[in-house]
């Protein structure tokens, strides 16, 4: 199976002022493109070459660091692009989602606060996730390009939302102000896509 960089449904400038166009360009065309290329090279001569990306991630704990890091980098960024939406098209979470957040986190606002805190406290580079685990929503973080579909990372589940907290995702605009980047993230989330992701699993 040959993995391809996904086509984006928006332009790099569509997320300003929350994410600048230069960051979007570099993030997509340099970082994500490199993960995609390296993943294809890494699995080419292995028994994983015909597996889906989800199946590769489930076996990544048995694989080389090259496969683990690049399979995570490929999948994680695919999800990240999917759950973003230009602020001009932003729509608040539906009543259905509000009920889901209320059931799992007391309220949507409490969920936002908890997610933001987990993201802010993630040391170094990594991701913060909203996952489904045993029909419940959980928030957790992974290091580097690890992913909740991987085995034994302490953050297992099926991810429906992910925030990239590597410095390459925000440093040009925000420098060391990760909290400002996290705050901006809430203005460009595609809640309709999050709801779709949730309903596919539950």
Q: What are phi and psi of 138, to 5 degrees?
A: -130, 155
Distance CA(149)–CA(152), nearest Å, equals: 9
pLDDT at 63: 84
Specify the residue for token string 């999948």.
75
Prediction pTM value: 0.96
**20-202 maps to CATH 3.40.50.300:** no
pLDDT at 180: 98
Give tens-digit pLDDT for 9-53.
999 999 999 999 999 999 999 999 999 999 999 999 899 999 999
47 and 64 Cβ atoms separated by less than 8 Å = no
Q: Where are the domains of the chain?
A: 20-202
Distance CA(194)–CA(170), nearest Å, equals: 22
């Amino acid at each position: 199976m040959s993995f391809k960089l996904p086509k984006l449904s928006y332009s790099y400038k569509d997320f300003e002022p929350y994410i600048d166009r230069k960051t979007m360009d570099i993030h997509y065309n340099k970082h994500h493109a490199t993960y995609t290329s390296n993943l294809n090279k890494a699995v080419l001569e292995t028994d994983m070459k015909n597996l889906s990306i989800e199946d590769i991630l489930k076996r990544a704990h048995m694989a080389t660091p090259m496969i683990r890091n690049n399979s995570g980098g490929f999948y994680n960024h695919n999800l990240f692009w999917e759950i973003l939406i230009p602020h001009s098209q932003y729509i608040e979470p539906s009543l259905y989602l509000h009920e889901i957040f209320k059931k799992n986190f007391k309220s949507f606002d409490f969920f936002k606060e908890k997610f933001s805190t987990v993201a802010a406290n993630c040391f170094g580079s990594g991701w913060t996730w909203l996952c489904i685990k045993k029909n419940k929503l959980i928030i957790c973080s992974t290091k580097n390009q690890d992913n909740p579909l991987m085995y034994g990372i302490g953050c297992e589940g099926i991810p429906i939302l992910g925030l990239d907290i590597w410095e390459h995702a925000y440093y040009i605009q925000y420098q060391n102000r990760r909290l400002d980047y996290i705050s901006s993230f809430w203005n460009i989330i595609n809640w309709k896509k999050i709801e779709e992701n949730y309903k596919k699993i539950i």
